[in-house]
Copies of this chain bind each other. A is one copy, B any other.
Amino acid sequence: MSRIHVPIELRWSDLDAYGHVNNARMLTLLEEARVRVFWRDPDSAQEAPLAVIDASDATSTRTVIARQECEYLVPIPHLRAPLDVQLWLAKIGGASIEIGYEVFSAPSVQPPVLYTRAATTIVLVDAESMRPRRITDAEREAWAPYLGEPVAFGARR
């Protein structure tokens, strides 16, 4: 199974008054990783491997976040080197997918620190009817190489 690695830069403003990356802000960082991986970039010839959702096309599909789960393992301080957000498909359902994430320190940090595990359930919705629509064969094929195991949340063990 392949994981997508998305380098995500922190901002100083991601810290809260405790001096660590805020727990809600972590979901913003995961959102940014999804945007860069899943959305087609109209200005780029080079396609991201999972960029099969065309955000600019307002007439067909919308994506709706149905559920998120996040496990905070180690507090994240202000870091200059981008986080290594690793992302895969934890599940491909009939009209929804589950993204799995493990958020690590930058590759230059040895040994790597695993900061966060998370999962997002996304429903594909027909933009006209606003009802869930089935995942197409083209989408299923594009995503198959990144289909991996469920997120290994520790708290449930």
Contact = CB atoms under 8 A, between A and B. Distances in A.
Interface residues of A, number: 38
A22 interface: yes
Given A23-B68, A69-B68, A81-B43, A31 B12 contact: yes
Copies in the complex: 4
Contacts of A75: 64
A66 B155 contact: yes
B12 A65 contact: no
Interface string A1-32: 00000000101110111010011111110011
B22 A13 contact: yes
A72 to B, nearest CB: 6
